[in-house]
């Protein structure tokens, strides 16, 4: 196992290099020294069987680890039975696509708090996750559902909630989005100690193996009182910083998958993170 870095989706850099099909992404990333790719189904799962088969082949040939981002409109916190059912259906489709393309991880946003209390919204997410554990997880063995920490205060998915959800079943694991946590906490995550505290909380709640192989989203972020406003880039003056996190993860001997969601420069920024990681590695091994 080793740490892996890569982009969320297809960046402008990919298209500017003359590519058009997502099937060309794994080879493109491998040439840049990257080894992870999060395929985006945020606006719906619309992939054909043949595409999935070819993607699996391209990823395997280029040693790129695939994950799949499930649709954004999934809301496991909804009190509307129709939305609950359609959310489960979107997760089923995501799992089927992930299975066909050999992606071992499906990233899911839990949902948002609407009219009633946060407590009730969280309870509804828990009960749907329990239902899913009896059905969907059994139908698609070997794939983990990565529940993401969310950036807006009115979204379900602060660190404690995500850890609680993941305690329901071993195949629920977190996606720790540090930009989102930073936006939610008002920009208070910057030092090694800050990052270590978050990672220790994950390890205490979910065990050393989950921590070691953690699925991470990382990008600088702009925030306001309600939390996340928009994703930014390493070229701009926004936190959180990656270097202290990289140092702590190296010290903890972690082998995470780090997906970059910078706005437009997700490939360049993933390369920057890979370079920081390589520097630490070289420095410590020298």
Contact residues toward Zn ion (CB under 5 A) are 148
Pick between residue 26 and residue 174 the one whose CB is nearest to Zn ion: 174
Which residue's beta carbon is nearest to the bound Zn ion? 148
Least separation in angstroms between residue 69's CB and Zn ion is 6
284 vs 286: CA distance, rounded Å: 6
Pick between residue 148 and residue 228 the one whose CB is nearest to Zn ion: 148
13 vs 263: CA distance, rounded Å: 12
For 90, what's the count of Cα atoms within 13 Å in the CB-facing half-sphere? 24
Q: How far apart are the first and last CA of the chain?
A: 21
Pick between residue 148 and residue 194 the one whose CB is nearest to Zn ion: 148
Least separation in angstroms between residue 174's CB and Zn ion is 12
Least separation in angstroms between residue 18's CB and Zn ion is 28
Least separation in angstroms between residue 118's CB and Zn ion is 20
Adjacent-strand bridge partners of 215: 175, 257
150 vs 171: CA distance, rounded Å: 19
Pick between residue 109 and residue 124 the one whose CB is nearest to Zn ion: 109
Pick between residue 62 and residue 263 the one whose CB is nearest to Zn ion: 263
Least separation in angstroms between residue 79's CB and Zn ion is 23
Structure tokens at 126: 């828990």
Q: Is the previous residue joined to 285 through a cis bond, with omega within 30 degrees of 0? A: no
217 vs 200: CA distance, rounded Å: 17
Structure tokens at 41: 């189904």
């Amino acid at each position: 196992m080793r740490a892996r870095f890569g982009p969320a989706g297809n960046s402008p850099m990919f298209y500017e290099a003359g590519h058009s099909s997502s099937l060309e992404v794994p080879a493109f990333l491998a040439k840049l020294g990257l080894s992870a790719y999060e395929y985006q189904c945020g606006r719906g799962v619309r992939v054909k069987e043949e595409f999935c088969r070819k993607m699996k082949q391209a990823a395997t040939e280029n040693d790129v680890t695939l994950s799949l981002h499930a649709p954004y409109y999934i809301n496991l916190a909804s009190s509307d039975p129709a939305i609950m059912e359609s959310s489960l259906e979107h997760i089923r489709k995501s799992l089927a696509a992930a299975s066909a393309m050999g992606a071992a991880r499906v990233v899911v946003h839990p949902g948002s708090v609407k009219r009633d209390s946060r407590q009730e919204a969280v309870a509804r997410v828990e009960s749907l996750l329990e239902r899913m554990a009896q059905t969907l997880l059994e139908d698609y063995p070997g794939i983990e559902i990565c529940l993401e920490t969310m950036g807006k205060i009115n979204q379900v998915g602060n660190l404690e909630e995500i850890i609680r959800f993941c305690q329901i079943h071993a195949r629920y694991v977190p996606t720790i989005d540090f930009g989102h946590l930073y936006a939610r906490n008002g920009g208070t995550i910057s030092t090694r100690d800050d990052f270590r505290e978050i990672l220790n909380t994950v390890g205490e709640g979910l065990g050393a193996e989950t921590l070691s192989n953690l699925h991470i989203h990382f990008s600088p972020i702009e925030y306001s009182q309600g939390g996340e406003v928009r994703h930014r880039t390493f070229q701009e003056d926004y936190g959180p910083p990656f270097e202290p996190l990289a140092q702590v993860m190296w010290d903890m001997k972690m082998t995470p998958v780090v997906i970059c969601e910078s706005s437009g420069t997700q490939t360049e920024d993933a390369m920057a993170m890979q370079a920081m990681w390589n520097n630490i590695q070289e420095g410590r091994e020298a």
